[in-house]
Amino acid sequence: MTDNFSRRDFLKLASVGAATTAILTGCGPASRYVTREPYTKMPEYTYNGQSTYYATTCRECAAGCGLVVRTMQGRAIKVEGNKNHPVNLGKTCVRGQATLHGLYNPDRVQDPAKQAKRGSRDFSSMDWDAATAVVADALKNTDPAGVAFLMGMAPDHLFDLVSDLAKAIGAPAPIRFGALGMFEARATLGKAVESLFGQAAMPFFDMGKSDLVFSFGANFLETWLSPVAFTRGFANMRRGGGHGRGTLVHFEPRMSQTASKADLWIPITPGTEGLVALAIGRIAAEARGGSLPTAFADVDVEAIAKASGVSAEKLDELGKLFASANAALAIPGGAALAHSNGLETAEAVLALNALVGGLGRAGGVFLAPLAPMQTEFSRPANMAEMADFVEKLKSGKVKTLFIHGVNPVFELPKSLGFEDALKSVQTVISFATFPDETAMQADYVFPDHHGLESWGYQRVAAGSSQSALSGAQPVVSPYYNTRATADVLLAAAASAGGVLAQALPFKDEVEFIQSKIVALVSESDGYFNAPEINTFTAYFQQYGGWWKTVDELSTPSGDALGKTIKVGEAKFAGEGEFYFHPFVSPVLGEAGANKPWLQEIPDPTTTAMWSSWVEIHPKTAEELGVDNDDVVRIVSEAGTVEAVVYKYPAIRLDTIAMPFGQGHTAYGRYAEGRGSNPADLFGEQVNGAGDLAFAGMRIKVEKTGKKYPLSRLESRMGVYGEALGEEH
Amino acid sequence: MTTNVSLMAIFPDLEPAADAIEQLRGLGVADDQMNVISGVPVTEAMLGRPRQWTNVPRLALGGAVAGFFIGAFLAFGTPSAYPIQVGRQAFIPGPPSVVILFEMTMLGLLLSTFLGVFLDSYFPSYRPMHYVPEISDGKIGVFFSCSQEDSEKITKAMTALGAEKVEAAEAQPL
Amino acid sequence: MTTELKIPEFSANFAESGQQGKWGMAIDMDICTGCQACVAACAMENNVPFVGEADSGYGRSMHWIRTERFWEGEFPEIKMTPYQPMLCQQCGHAPCEPVCPAFATVHSQSEALNLQVYNRCVGTRYCANNCPYQVRSFNWRDFERPEPLPNQFNPDVTVRRRGVMEKCTFCIQRIHRAEDQAKSEGREIADGEFTTACAQACPADAIVFGRIDDPESAVSKLARGSRGFHMLEELGTLPSVTYLKAG
Amino acid sequence: MTSTEKHHDHAQDHVAHLREQHLMLDPLPRGQMNDMVMESMHTTSWKFWVVFGILSVIVAVFLFGAWGYMIANGLGVAGVNRPSYWGIFLVNTVFWIGISHAGTFISAILRVFKAEFRRPFTRAAELMTTFGLVQAGFSIFMHMGRVWLSYWLMPIPNQRGLWPNFHSPLSWDLLAITTYLLSSTMYLFLPLIPDLAMARDRTPDGTWQKTFYRVLALGFRGTEGEWTHLRNAMNIFAFAIIPVMFSVHTIVSWDFAAATRPGWNSTIFGPYFVVGALHSGMGAVAMVLAVVQSRMKHMKYFIRGEHFEALGMLMLLVSMAWAYFFFNDYMVQWYGGDKWTQQLLHFHEGGPLGWMWFAMLVFNVVIPWATLWNKKWRSNPWLLFGVGLLINVGMWFERYIIIPISLTINRMPFTWRMYTPGVEVFLGIGTVAFFILLYMGASRLIPLIPVWEVQEGQMAHSLKTYGRETVVTVSELE
């Protein structure tokens, strides 16, 4: 890397192999290797009437979709999908589209600041030198064992840097967490794969080539793992890739958005998904003939029919359907795994695939490839690990806590007491871009750039059959006085000197990223090849990452059907007459509440906007004496929340559902004080993989007598026939 | 050469006024030298006067024709000046054009009728005119001009017929 | 060399040919997942304002495209009707057009689209009354977009003020950009060369946009299929949007 | 006493009774009537000024203040929404245009058919026409999103080269209402000229009223020519304004009937609306006359039971006609079987505002029919006032049902939504206050009774005895 390598050279490079993507440029306005040019030669991003498009990576969740952002005169105008990106092939989800409302959010943290007293919101701005000094001081003068890093699920490059940093100073490895990971039950999936196939990996579900999908609680069209990729898979399945129109059967106590697209929705008793999978397995095995596999040998279909509320005839029908499909696929996920028996449920569902020869078969289950430069399967912390971490905080062993990319005060179960635990930590430094709840409990907020102003990369964990590393670059110059956390840490490391400076000898974030991706220069089968790292970096930015052009799916091995799968009875914490079924808002996700346009996007199933609600079946509501727009109090063993009633006709009569995403007490004007947070109700029960059993709860519903008009797009008159005249 | 004088006789009622007019005619005052003003519309026939000429109906008709052509311009001319396609209707829509033609014709008709009154009656005219306010109390005033010599004779005759007063017509501000 | 610009003969031939228009859309309700990406993409592309909680709950949301769904049956046999994205159908025989006294909504002869001319609109809202699809949205207020949110505005699209009607334009700014590009290169626009914001975002590719006067285009092929139907076809509005039935 | 004498006495009583009953048989000298009319204008109690002041404040705050607020903030401060894009604004527009129909009906149609009872209150009714149209104009301009550009709707040459769209019923509306407002104002003014001249003659010099009357009287003296021109013009007007009046409300009805909406797309809307307009207009005339008669000096002489009786009969007739058209429309819509129309009808009757539908029928049909058949009852001004008020409420409900309530139901059930009025309630109250205010102001400046027409009528009426019976006869003077 030389200093005179200009952005114009980048452009020349970019134009060489970029016939189809001529609009993409390799280098953004925040490019740091800019040489001075005459005034008449304006940078391309300031030409009047000309748009410039930059490839980058979406940060609204950790799936790592490739984006191409249209900019004009230095302003980001529109998010579009990166057509070449293997995860999303040019598509985006609703949250990705609205990411610009995060970038230009009026409530971003604008300067590094120190808070006079935690929670006081009395911030005094400081300059970045002072901020860097604070970080350097914390890294240098804290006992390494007392330094802790809590990271979000994105971005990966920062996680790598922090991991290196922690290793260098001998601090514990950073912990990663995200509410989406919790709701996805990622740890359970990984553990189930490990126990069935002997290898910890992310399963890859080849939905597009399947002709029958049994989904046990996996909300793959909403937020689960990689929704854009799964939506494409679903569409391909429906279009019928060679098998005719594919069929989707969804098992979930509530009709979610995913369930609403199912040809058959089975409103199953919560916690019996694994049992039903076993019953289907047994019936399917019988239908296919041959000897009964061990996994399904001891299954009592009648008892399962009774427990699950799915009739024996229905189970029989489903089992035979599954057995007769050309390419059947069973997917475990979401709330189905969030029970005390969740791990076994995951195993039972995965075993179904083994039964019909779906392991390694087109339209079946594979093991997802590791991302480039990744040596082993990694996953975010499960709830058991988070509980340990909170204990550690409480014990006072952690002196300095760095938090980036995650909002644990909001996302963790309130009963875990994270907010309380922070009190035992001497110094809390948040790198939050937005003034979220956790930042409000920090001593310092050193705001990171928004994702669209940032460099970085993200490993693709689940959405692609190709091994992919999604690249991020700034599409606009930073709007506020923010600084990349990586740069802050590198500068702090440099000023701290010693082992730190030795371990992280990088001038800036880009140099660090190059130091990582340099390993890919010599890789074969890449989407592009380059002789050396600078050219490679230019392409990496221009194309929005690097990925293999060939599938690297591996076939699960091991005798998945050879061992008995014992799905026990799900344990429900708390008492009360209703099951509780929390789900992630498909529109807001875990962190969308501060984006005004996302608030105004109607929820797909309820069309509710700008608030949260509880879904109660109309008959149940009648029994409870509550109506639409009544505020009810939900009481669990761990807490209470109040929310507005939505009489939802497609939910079990004994189940109450509530979306996660609202209920912020900070996080900017559009999020704060809006709706309520079901995480306040969560207990600490975990499943066999340590994931939170958030669906394993029983709750009570109490009337409050209050009313709150829930904004809906739909007409209650037209859709539910309220207040219409009678036939006469 | 005799000088003419203008006189005005005020009658309380229709009958004496009609008689007076007949008498005047007998006394050599021509119809065109007479004028009657009244607070209620008394017809020419009641007073035995010749029919009044009025242009109002003709003006009204002219206005209607003008209105029709303005309507035609709006309905047929303006869409041709700037043709814009809406709802797959013809540039010049049939039935709506009838509406426009009708409204503009009626507007032309009524406006010109109204203006016709102004034109025919020389409204507004704030010049001093021969008038007495009693007219609006229902009296009937007969103006006539006669020669100086006849004036006394006529005055007498008028008084005899019941004129409340006969005096030189005085122009007064209206 | 001059490129001949194809202007559909409007009045007579247009009706006889049975052709709907020039640009059209096919929406496959079988694969639409109701994910709302189109709604967000449209709002971002077209500077559509958000209106806040109270107004949005009172039928004043500004969405140019919305996803409709109904229910059939009773639990547990309840089914949700397929998600139906509802947007301006760009009717060939648009009821909204003739009723505007200000010529603010007119038929474009070159694009065969239903245009909304914001600058001419005086806000009588008659067009919205007369739209059988109820897809027009009115600027009830100057909806607030605090700084720096306006940085995101698309400079190709007018920002509308209060008192003005608006609706889906089939991303006419993208059509014009592509047409200009094609014209400058002396060629016809290729199918799939560009698309609307909603179709571009749609993760399921349920929305397909293109030339319906070209029988070989993807959208024409889809629209001709047996699953195709037009919304409120009985009104004779000749919509340019074809829905594909689920199942 | 002989039987002849007895009979004579009886006949005497009968004549006295007839005179008491009929203004036209109870002539007073013209001068005295003039004095009475002038005095009625000039006798003003403090209560008048209190009411006038309150109304002025209401107009300033509710009409102009609230309107300014709405212009500054957008129509969001009103209750209009999707799908009820038109709310009370259009209800009020139709309502006021309806009110305005009474004046023309009474002074034009009754003049053409020489209904003599019209004479004393044609002016009062014509004033309602003009002032009602002013309110209608306010209401329709208020509902525009960008009212400051409303001149774009006028057919005036402009640099854009763009003319209004004459395909649009709203453009027809604009022309029709303009035509009607201009012609009804002219029609109000023409017969007013002699009365203004009368007022001019009876107003002392040096007052501003003198100048006012002088200017407006245009120098009218009452010459044969002036009367001839005036009478000719009035005859033309009386004939020509009738189709204009019909066209106005028909076109208003086309705003709805021409739309592709369930419940609106009806061919009978034209006459249905015209009759509805007359219904509310007649009721409003009755109300105004009752107030004028009881509150203004000498008005008991000019306005008598016979007038209320005749009006009551008209109201009953119009009520029957309205019921006929209503049922006609309802029957056909009901029978048609279109599912959206069916839904709309159910919604009218059984929706949250179903009471309004029933109240409409009670106020517009049941109550008028139950009361107005009786000659004695309908001669009672206050009973007629009450019935007129209820009819107006009922007709307002009818328009409310046709506009916001019917707009709720369309072919997209996903968008059905109730309409909750916002600031337009105040604006509506403001127009009512402004109407009353204009009327009160006019009653102080404009002779409410066309004295010359009354005198003309009295000249034409006489009693004639046929055998033993004395009857009223009218001679045709024109």
Q: Where are the alpha helices (DSSP H) in A309-442?
A: 312-324, 342-355, 383-394, 408-411, 418-422, 437-440
Cβ contacts (< 8 Å) between A604 and chain C: which residues?
33-36, 67, 69, 83
CB C70 within 8 A of CB D413: yes
| Residue pLDDT, tens place only, A64-84 | 999 999 998 889 999 999 999
Mutation pick from D36, D216, D228 vs chain B, by most beta carbons of B within 10 Å, is D228
| Residue pLDDT, tens place only, C51-62 | 999 999 999 999
Domain limits for position D85: 3-474
Cβ contact A81–C155 (<8 Å): no
Could you tell me which chains touch chain D, where touching means 3 or more CB pairs under 8 A?
Answer: A, B, C
Residue C69 has pLDDT above 70, yes or no: yes
pLDDT at D107: 83
Residue C7 has pLDDT above 60, yes or no: no
Q: Does D343 touch chain A (CB under 8 A)?
A: yes
Min CA distance, C15 vs chain B (Å)? 9
pLDDT at A15: 35
Task: Using a pLDDT cut of 70, give the percent of chain B over it.
Answer: 99
Cβ contact B127–D219 (<8 Å): yes
pLDDT at A117: 93
ipTM of the complex: 0.91
| Residue pLDDT, tens place only, D179-200 | 999 999 999 999 999 999 999 8
pLDDT at B2: 62
Q: What is the DSSP string of A334-359?
A: GGGGSSTTHHHHHHHHHHHHHHTT-B
Alpha-carbon span C38 to C32, nearest angstrom? 10
Average pLDDT over residues C176-185: 92
Chain D residues interacting with chain C (CB cutoff of 8 angstroms): 73-77, 80-86, 143-147, 149-150, 152-153, 162, 164-165, 167-171, 174, 255, 258-261, 407, 410-415, 417, 420
pLDDT at A240: 86
CB A715 within 8 A of CB A638: no
Domains of chain B from N-terminus onward: 4-51+127-172 (3.30.70.120), 56-121 (no CATH)
Cβ contacts (< 8 Å) between D239 and chain B: which residues?
none
pLDDT at A364: 93
Q: Does C154 touch chain A (CB under 8 A)?
A: yes
Domains of chain A from N-terminus onward: 1-104+457-476+527-568 (2.20.25.90), 109-178+380-448+483-520 (3.40.50.740), 183-367 (3.40.228.10), 578-720 (2.40.40.20)
| Residue pLDDT, tens place only, B39-93 | 888 877 788 788 888 888 999 999 999 999 999 999 998 888 888 888 888 888 8
State residue C107 phi and psi, 5-degree precision: -95, 130
Helix (H, G, I), strand (E, B) or coil at A641: strand
Taking CA–CA distances from D199, the nearest residue in chain B reads B136
Alpha-carbon span A343 to A345, nearest angstrom? 5
The CATH number of the domain holding residue D18 is: 1.20.1630.10
Cβ contact C103–B88 (<8 Å): no
What is the CATH T-level fold of the domain C11-244, as seen in this structure? Alpha-Beta Plaits (3.30.70)
pLDDT at B149: 81
pLDDT band, very low/low/confident/very high, at D118 (cuts 50, 70, 90):
confident
Q: Which of residues 29-48 of C touch A (CB under 8 A)?
A: 30-31, 33-37, 39-41, 43-45
Alpha-carbon span C126 to D140, nearest angstrom? 12
| Residue pLDDT, tens place only, A144-191 | 999 999 999 989 999 999 999 999 999 999 999 999 999 999 999 999
Residue C4 has pLDDT above 60, yes or no: no
pLDDT at B13: 83
pLDDT band, very low/low/confident/very high, at C17 (cuts 50, 70, 90):
very low
CB D99 within 8 A of CB D128: yes
Residue B18 has pLDDT above 90, yes or no: no
pLDDT at A723: 79
Any long-range contacts for C184-188 (C-beta under 8 Å, 24+ apart)? C186/C1, C186/C3, C187/C3
Edge-to-edge strand ranges of the sheet holding C241-244:
C207-211, C23-28, C241-244, C228-229
Domain count within chain D = 1
Cβ contacts (< 8 Å) between A723 and chain D: which residues?
351-352, 418
pLDDT band, very low/low/confident/very high, at B121 (cuts 50, 70, 90):
confident
Cβ contacts (< 8 Å) between B88 and chain C: which residues?
11, 14-15, 92-94, 107, 238
- For chain A, residues with pLDDT lower than 50 are 1-27, 29-30, 727-728
pLDDT at B38: 86
Helix (H, G, I), strand (E, B) or coil at D339: helix
Residue C5 has pLDDT above 60, yes or no: no
Q: Determine how many CB atoms are found less than 10 A away from the CB of residue B160.
A: 12
Q: How many whole angstroms from its chain centre is CA A491?
A: 30
pLDDT at C18: 45
Which amino acid makes up residue A689? A
Cα→Cα distances A330→A248, A249, A362, A659, B16, Å: 10, 9, 13, 25, 116
pLDDT at D113: 87
CB A360 within 8 A of CB A329: no
- What average pLDDT does chain D have? 90
Average pLDDT over residues D45-57: 94
pTM of the model: 0.92
pLDDT at A524: 86
Alpha-carbon span A662 to A677, nearest angstrom? 6
- What average pLDDT does chain A have? 90
pLDDT at A212: 94
Q: Does C146 touch chain A (CB under 8 A)?
A: yes
Alpha-carbon span D96 to D80, nearest angstrom? 20
HSE-up (13 A, CA, CB side) for residue A618: 10
Cβ contact D86–C129 (<8 Å): yes
Min CA distance, A660 vs chain D (Å)? 26
